[in-house]
Amino acid sequence: MTDEIATLSSAPDAPIAHQNTRKVFIKTYGCQMNVYDSDRMQDALAKDGYVATDVMEDADLVLLNTCHIREKAAEKVYSALGRLRELKKKKAGEGREMMIGVAGCVAQAEGDEILRRAPAVDLVIGPQTYHRLPQALERVKRGERVLETDYAIEDKFEHLPAPEKAKTRARGVTAFLTVQEGCDKFCSFCVVPYTRGSEVSRPVEQIVAEARKLVEGGVRELTLLGQNVNAWHGAGPDGVEWGLGELLHHLAGIEGLARLRYTTSHPRDMDDGLIAAHRDLPQLMPYLHLPVQSGSDRILKAMNRRHTAAEYLALIERIKKARPDLALSGDFIVGFPGETDEDFEDTLKLVEAVGYAQAFSFKYSTRPGTPGADLKDQVPEDVKAKRLERLQALLLKQQHAFNEMCIGREIDLLLEKPGRMPGQLIGRSPWLQSVNVDAKSSQIGDIIRVRITGTGPNSLFAEVAS
């Protein structure tokens, strides 16, 4: 996952029954869960009279939806807040007010510190309390500086507004849908259990209702989200406890929904029902993001991953047997405290054994409050950098090999948006690659048969198959 995903795009302004329309600018950092949360915050604010804007200077409210996973994430937030402070001061001099809010995982982890270090911030709100955002803003307008980071007793999902059809169309033909939040695994390098809380599964009826709303609005592909999405479980309409596999089967029955994906998974929660869904559901795309982090059993134990390299490889073999055309993605951390050259070589061996279509790799960096932060035997930065360079070279080689293997193949392509060149559209392959093809803009949302003709640095090229 990238360190910074997107700035939330504005939807076409719909008529709003408020005399003074207010504008909100949301900048989103981090994972797909944050993108989803930004959408839901925008939906909650729309009911309070706010419309989205792409121009920060025009906004009455600026929200930074932050991520705490990557190195120096908090410092990036403080740097952005410094620029916002100057913008707020400038607007005040022109007689215009601007509120500044910090949301997301940095807000949850460092709420008091943000208010202390950044006096221009009016509001700090954590991921569990977004449904309270309109009420928090009312308190800001009364002159309070608001800190909302207590874990909500009520169900956050119950209070978040469902997407409206018009907004769904504006957001495109693919959408994220959160089904699970939080994590109970407590990997020693990770802050998620401390910022997102323990694992909570969203009820089936809420998931299905939102999925139907999205599909009615033109969405053809849904990606189910969770910090540990394959730990999702809940009572189905039949009263029987379901796992993610059963949920996927149920969602696949929604008319008009052509594709399903899910992310991010933990190896320990890949059960038989989910593997069977990969085998049996044509709507479930043959792409799986299954992080392993290291190929060394010693490091995996220190990371508290609670599986071995051999167990991970055996699981991959089972999944590929069920779905032979499956493409795999993963996450890797190099330079975890105590990692030796031999440990790192074990990681390279695992990568060679799996053969990834795509992967994300990072140097280990300490996260205050996690067990890993207190470990001795930290790996020098120059050693981490050299190891990361070697690992990324191998992963890039595998990615290029997978893309080259696609040349000449015919695939179904979901057309998503205009390309860079006139008369060109960009779509996603079943394996999540970007594919460029000549097609009409009226075909966005269609799934067409194409033949892959070539590869680029970050995408594939195709022609319409006859």
pLDDT, tens digit (0-9, with 9 covering 90-100), for 146-158: 999 887 655 666 6
Q: Which residues have C-beta within 8 Å of that of residue 350, sequence separation ≥ 6? A: 292, 295, 309, 312, 313
Query: What pLDDT, in 10s, does the model give residues 281-319?
Result: 999 999 999 999 999 999 999 999 999 999 999 999 999
CB-based contact 291:322 (threshold 8 Å):
no
- 336, two tokens: 């975890």
Query: What pLDDT, in 10s, does the model give residues 448-465?
Result: 999 999 999 889 999 999
**In the chain, pLDDT over 90 holds for what percent of residues?**
72
**In the chain, pLDDT over 70 holds for what percent of residues?**
90
pLDDT of 183 over the 60 cut: yes
pLDDT of residue 34: 86
What is residue 250's three-state secondary structure?
helix
pLDDT of 14 over the 60 cut: no
pLDDT of 20 over the 80 cut: no
pLDDT of 15 over the 70 cut: no
Which position has the higher pLDDT, 177 or 72? 177
Query: What pLDDT, in 10s, does the model give residues 194-231?
Result: 888 889 999 999 999 999 999 999 999 999 999 999 99
DSSP one-letter string for 123-173: EEE-GGGGGGHHHHHHHHHTT--EEE-SPPSS-HHHHSPPPPHHHHHHH-S
The beta strand positions in 244-303, using DSSP E, are 259-263, 287-289
Q: Which residues have C-beta within 8 Å of that of residue 137, sequence separation ≥ 6? A: 48, 61, 99, 101, 123
Mean pLDDT of all residues in 88-94: 93
Q: Which residues have C-beta within 8 Å of that of residue 148, sequence separation ≥ 6? A: 123, 124, 125, 126, 129, 132, 136
pLDDT of 70 over the 70 cut: no
pLDDT of 12 over the 80 cut: no
pLDDT of 368 over the 60 cut: yes
pLDDT of 73 over the 90 cut: no
Output the CA torsion sign for 45, 51, 56, 60: negative
pLDDT grade for 369, boundaries at 50, 70 and 90: confident
Cα–Cα dist 288/383, whole Å: 30
pLDDT of residue 109: 85
Query: What pLDDT, in 10s, does the model give residues 399-458?
Result: 999 999 999 999 999 999 999 899 999 999 999 999 999 999 999 999 999 999 999 988
CB-based contact 283:223 (threshold 8 Å):
no
pLDDT grade for 164, boundaries at 50, 70 and 90: low
Which position has the higher pLDDT, 349 or 159? 349
DSSP 242: E
